[in-house]
């Protein structure tokens, strides 16, 4: 087995695949990276118990030669040192040769590394997904949907199903939902997916965070394939396979209040910055609570009080306040997470009293919804 490859392409592929490789894997060989050379190109594979990532570097692409001198073969290499080696090699191309006893020689210019490899037959076979249910969507939209929901997953293992994002596709509408039972984030979009439907797919938040990091905005679409217990995300050069969480995702639609008693329309960034400042003194306490009070028809007061340290007070002129007067306390962190996900300059916040969940949506778009439970402060 041997090949000569462009170093910059190898660097990117190795970094992507490393995201699936654990320093302390369940099976020792999974601390390695599988490298396969065929005449079509080089495939790198990494895996832990939750996710598997495969990156493919084609021999030729758009008339450019990426990989040359290929003798097909397959080997597993200790992943720990590989990224730094590839990154620090002196020249633009890297020669990769497997010699006797799985010795791997990696050289570039006058620099030559000899690494101890392993027989790839010991590497577990990754499941090949037969696309039962598949659809495509633009990568930038997909990444946005992850960012707008994944922060709200639970980090507690008491209800494992809540550590994932529920992905639902019904009536050509794709919905991402996440909740940790104190707040809920939801994002919808229309998908042309013919006859595909599913509703209880729950992807671990950790998988989506890793996927979000490695998905390349310059590629156009991602193909999503769902089976009973796994989900495969595929782009031109990348396959990302994640297990799904077992269990039934709770029915969340009834959490969203149907009535409202107070509505505030406000500039997103101004409210975000004010809450950020108000949270400064409260940052040690677990809930980071701030209080919002309406004053008349255009002023909202944000306050926070930390007996030992001091207090903070700020007024914002908002666009409108409709309905009942309101005093409500909530976690500044949840509010900031929600406002950061909005993508629009103006938001609407609908309250149904100081003790009921409230809802934040962009003024000009109802495809993003954030819900937050208030905090009792008396």
**For a copy of itself, the closer CB: 89 or 339:** 89
Counting Cα atoms < 13 Å in the Cβ hemisphere of 253 gives 4
User: Shortest gap between Cβ of 80 and a copy of itself (angstroms)?
Assistant: 8
Tokens of 47: 């895996």
User: Shortest gap between Cβ of 124 and a copy of itself (angstroms)?
Assistant: 23
Q: Is 24 in the site for a copy of itself (CB under 8 A)?
A: no
Counting Cα atoms < 13 Å in the Cβ hemisphere of 165 gives 24
Report the residue from 73, 97, 113, 141 that binds a copy of itself according to the rule CB under 8 A. 113
Q: What angle, 0 to 180 degrees and rounded to 10, lies between the N-to-C axes of helices 268-278 and 332-340?
A: 150
User: Shortest gap between Cβ of 344 and a copy of itself (angstroms)?
Assistant: 21
Tokens of 205: 């938040």
Dihedrals phi, psi of 206, to nearest 5 degrees: -60, -45
Q: Is 313 in the site for a copy of itself (CB under 8 A)?
A: yes
How far is 332 from 316, CA to CA, in rounded Å? 16
Q: Is 15 in the site for a copy of itself (CB under 8 A)?
A: no
Q: Is 312 in the site for a copy of itself (CB under 8 A)?
A: yes
How far is 342 from 187, CA to CA, in rounded Å? 10
Tokens of 120: 């790839």
Among the candidate windows 112-120, 161-169, 183-191, 218-226, which touches a copy of itself by CB under 8 A? 112-120
Q: Is 111 in the site for a copy of itself (CB under 8 A)?
A: yes
Report the residue from 88, 125, 254, 286 that binds a copy of itself according to the rule CB under 8 A. 88
Terminal-residue alpha carbon distance, the chain? 71
Q: Are strands 289-295 and 64-65 parallel, antiparallel or unpaired?
A: unpaired
Q: Is 114 in the site for a copy of itself (CB under 8 A)?
A: yes
User: Shortest gap between Cβ of 338 and a copy of itself (angstroms)?
Assistant: 19
**For a copy of itself, the closer CB: 61 or 301:** 301
Site for a copy of itself, residues 237 to 276, rule: CB under 8 A: 273-274, 276
Report the residue from 170, 315, 324, 345 that binds a copy of itself according to the rule CB under 8 A. 315
Any idea what the Cα angle at residue 137 is, between residues 135 and 140, rounded to 5°? 155
Number of residues that bind a copy of itself (CB under 8 A): 31
User: Shortest gap between Cβ of 50 and a copy of itself (angstroms)?
Assistant: 27
User: Shortest gap between Cβ of 266 and a copy of itself (angstroms)?
Assistant: 14
**For a copy of itself, the closer CB: 84 or 366:** 84
> What are 353-358's contacts with CB under 8 Å, separation 24+?
353/261, 353/324, 353/326, 354/326, 354/327, 354/328, 354/329, 356/257, 357/255, 357/256, 357/257, 358/257, 358/328, 358/330
**For a copy of itself, the closer CB: 224 or 281:** 281
**For a copy of itself, the closer CB: 32 or 204:** 32
How crowded is residue 103: how many other Cβ atoms within 10 Å of its Cβ?
13
**For a copy of itself, the closer CB: 90 or 127:** 90
Which residues form the interface with a copy of itself (CB under 8 A)? 78, 81, 84-85, 88-90, 103-104, 110-116, 273-274, 276-277, 280-281, 308-316
């Amino acid at each position: 087995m041997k090949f000569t490859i462009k170093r910059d392409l190898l660097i990117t592929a190795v970094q992507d695949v490393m995201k699936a490789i654990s320093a302390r894997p369940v099976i020792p060989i999974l601390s390695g990276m599988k490298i396969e050379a065929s005449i079509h190109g080089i495939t790198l594979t990494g895996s832990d118990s939750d996710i598997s990532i495969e990156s493919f570097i084609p021999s030729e692409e758009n008339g450019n030669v990426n990989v040359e001198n290929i003798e097909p073969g397959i080997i597993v290499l200790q992943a720990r040192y590989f990224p730094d080696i590839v990154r620090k090699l002196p020249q633009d191309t890297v020669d990769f040769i497997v010699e006797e006893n799985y010795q791997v020689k990696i050289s570039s210019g006058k620099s030559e590394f000899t690494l101890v490899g392993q027989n790839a037959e010991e590497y577990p076979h990754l499941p090949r997904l037969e696309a039962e249910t598949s659809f495509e969507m633009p990568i930038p939209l997909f990444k946005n949907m992850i960012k707008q929901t994944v922060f709200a997953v639970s980090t507690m293992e008491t209800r494992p199903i809540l550590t994932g994002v529920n992905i639902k596709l019904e009536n050509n509408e794709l919905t991402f939902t996440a909740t940790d039972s104190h707040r809920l984030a939801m994002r919808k979009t229309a998908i042309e997916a013919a006859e595909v439907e599913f509703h209880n797919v729950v992807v671990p938040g950790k998988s989506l965070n890793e996927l979000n990091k490695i998905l390349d905005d310059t590629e156009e679409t991602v193909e999503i394939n769902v089976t009973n217990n796994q989900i495969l995300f595929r782009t031109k050069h990348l396959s990302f396979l994640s297990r799904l969480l077992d269990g039934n995702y709770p029915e969340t639609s009834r959490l969203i209040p149907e009535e409202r008693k107070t509505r505030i329309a406000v500039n997103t960034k101004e409210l975000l910055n004010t809450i950020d400042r108000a949270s400064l003194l409260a940052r040690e306490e677990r809930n980071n609570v701030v209080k919002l009070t309406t004053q008349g028809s255009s002023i909202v007061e944000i306050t926070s009080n930390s007996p030992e340290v001091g207090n903070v007070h700020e007024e914002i002129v908002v666009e409108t306040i409709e309905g009942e007067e309101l005093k409500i306390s909530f976690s500044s962190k949840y509010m900031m997470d929600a406002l950061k996900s909005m993508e629009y300059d103006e938001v609407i916040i609908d309250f149904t009293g100081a003790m009921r969940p409230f809802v934040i949506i962009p003024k000009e778009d109802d495809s993003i919804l954030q819900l937050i439970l208030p905090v009792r402060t008396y």
